Structure 1
Amino acid sequence: MADIAAVPLTPASPPRGTLARAERFVWLTARVLEQRLFAHHFRDGAAGPVETALEAYRNDDGGYGHALEPALRGPASLPAHTARALRVLDSVGRCDARRAEAVCRYLTSVSTTEGALTAIRPEAALPAVRPAGKGGGAVRLPGTLSATAPVVGLLHRNEVWHPWLFRATDFCWRAVESLEAALPGDVEAAVLFLDHAPERARAEAAAERLGRLVRRERLVVLDPDDPGAQPSSSGQAPGHAVGDRRFPQDYARTPDSLARAWFTDAEMERSLDVLAAGQQADGGWPVRRLPGAPESAPVALLEARPVATTQALRTLAAYGRSLA
């Protein structure tokens, strides 16, 4: 592993280059977990320290909490925190059956009878985990595709099998194949499921239909010069989301995604140009803020920006963009 302790935090002159500027931003602002992830992805850091940092967020019930997903504060386990934990483990090659067993037990305990998970809005996170009634059970809300599909997709990607996963997979298929007037977030989640779903011919057919829907319903920004595609003064993240729309790389996070076929090479290159240009003066990328979403606490925004920064770098690198 590179000697990250040797990286100066107060250089005589600001660092140049996309990666160097982002690195300084991460060392100055990120939590230990995001620092370890950055080191793993871009400085030959080992996977072990990432796992060690992630362990601090794990609860006895097998789920994760403690603001692992920065917008959701509080210590209690939530599906969104646990989904983030699985993404971290997957990104460092440690999402195997042994590690996923406890997570799946937790997911079983909080899913609906269909196997679906619940999405919690940031402002509802703390009330939603308080005991309800004398029985002390958590309030059970309807399951959603956006909360369930990314988790199911990751588990299939890592060839994890668990009784809960069968029900959850069936739920995802029904939800994906019935999407008509979809929201961009639902389509994003659907792609994360379809990219790794076990029935490949079925997944390809479903992805082709979703691609037509995305273009027909204008759920994607294809012309960055469109005035509606420009970042707003309120902190909208350029190259990630505009209004209720997304950019191509939000759907096709890697070139081998099924969603990559939805866009021409020219459309993808223009979109990646916008993403690259979104790096701010301090070296980091802004976080996505969707219309109608509540204002996040300053600490949540601060903790979320290194996450967004590492994701932007990984997307650019996946498409062969130079980070020098």
Structure 2
Amino acid sequence: MAETGASTDPVPSPDAALSPVARAEHFVWLTARVLEQRRFAYHFLRGASGTAGSTDVGSNQAADAVEAALTAYATGDGGYGYALEPDLRGPVSQPLHIGHALRVLDSIRRCGGQRVERVCRYLTSVSTPDGALPAIHPSQRGYPSAPFVPILDDPPSELLATGPVVGLLHRNEVWHAWLFRATDFCWAAVESLEKSHPYEVQAAVAFLDGAPDRPRAQAAADRLGRLVREQRLAALDPAALAAYPVAPGYAPGEHHFPHDFAKAPESLARAWFTDEEMERSLDFLERDQRADGGWPVRWRQWAPGTALEARPIVTIEALRTLRAYGRSID
């Protein structure tokens, strides 16, 4: 485009009278990466054209567009890199990128086939001696990454990285040799938790929601829910946040709410909260949409680009959660 002269005028915000989705659409087109633009179109605009009346063909085309955008983050070893998870920069594959990629594929019903076979081969190559995943593989060293994800030469297995990957693979009925020991690790980790923090609990829920042994998953979830309430890991009253401590190492104000644990009504974590607690949580989530149409990032922001890339991701997930619970967003 030809330069038309510098302007110091603020970027206009969407009309406050518009629906949450319409305001978020303005925000996404203004700020998001191609992947999140394609995801937003798939979930909320019924295809890349943004027109209503989706057909199976249109839905498939929109899913193809999401998958094509995700492929740009693929690496030669079967993993994903290139800051797919914005807090990890650089071209190298990382387990946390894999979790992000599988969530995207699951959301468009493409979590299977050769793409997942390649992912499982990568997971095998970076697993720890007990068959699970480290949060950060040492290959990240030398590239920028968030200070709250330390890089170790011999990192331990982490439920944080392993649970969501295993849960999503089981949810999509993927069977691979890597899953056997990784599943055993997740069961042992979840069932032995005594003191935890919200992100680890979210990882445990992601595993339990996909685990094939449903009675065992239900029992583990019941125990975990009691732990969450006893340790006040969920802010049950958004109007009284001072009553809920922020976990050590988290950013000031980095609270987690019932909707953060039970992202959809069918999650096992939904039973942890009363109807009143969940309604308050969803009310808070609705009100949390900012004037620019996006939702805020609550974790520690350590670089301008990472916050900019993360907000559209958070915005899409907020809208998906509200819609899953029947809230009006259109």
TM-score range, shorter chain: 0.7 to 0.9
Aligned residues of 1:73 and 1:125 also touching (Cα < 8 A):
no
Change (3 A) 1:11 1:150: closer
Cα distance between partner residues in 1 of 2:279 and 2:107: 24
Q: 1:229 Cα shift? A: 7.3
Change (3 A) 1:44 1:78: same
Moved beyond 3 Å, runs of 4+: 9-15
Give the counterpart letter for 1:283 in structure 2.
G
Partner in structure 1 of residue 96 of structure 2: 80
Partner in structure 2 of residue 133 of structure 1: none
Change (3 A) 1:120 1:318: same
Q: 1:114 Cα shift? A: 1.5
Cα distance between partner residues in 2 of 1:183 and 1:200: 24
Cα distance between partner residues in 2 of 1:141 and 1:173: 20
Give the counterpart letter for 1:110 in structure 2.
V
Give the counterpart letter for 1:28 in structure 2.
L
Aligned residues of 2:134 and 2:161 also touching (Cα < 8 A):
yes
Q: 1:224 Cα shift? A: 1.4
Partner in structure 1 of residue 3 of structure 2: none
Partner in structure 2 of residue 224 of structure 1: 238
Cα distance between partner residues in 2 of 1:92 and 1:207: 26
Which residue, out of 160, 163, 186, partners 1:149?
163
Change (3 A) 1:227 1:125: farther
Q: 1:129 Cα shift? A: 7.3
Once the two structures are overlaid, the 10-residue window that deviates more, 198-207 or 178-187, is 178-187
Cα distance between partner residues in 2 of 1:310 and 1:10: 21
Which residue, out of 105, 109, 114, partners 1:98?
114
Q: 1:287 Cα shift? A: 1.1
Give the counterpart letter for 2:111 in structure 1.
C
Partner in structure 2 of residue 305 of structure 1: 311
Q: What is the TM-score of this pair, normalised by structure 1?
A: 0.85
Change (3 A) 1:262 1:53: same
Aligned residues of 2:73 and 2:84 also touching (Cα < 8 A):
yes
Percent identity reads 62
* Structure 1: tracts of 5 or more residues without a match: 1-8, 131-137
1:268-279 matches, within 5 Å, as: 268-279=278-289
Cα distance between partner residues in 1 of 2:315 and 2:153: 34
Partner in structure 1 of residue 23 of structure 2: 21
2:239 partner SS: coil
Give the counterpart letter for 1:258 in structure 2.
L
**Could you say what the CA RMSD is over the residues aligned between the two structures, in angstroms?**
2.5
Q: How many aligned positions are there? A: 295
1:321 partner SS: coil
Aligned residues of 1:211 and 1:259 also touching (Cα < 8 A):
yes
Give the counterpart letter for 1:94 in structure 2.
R
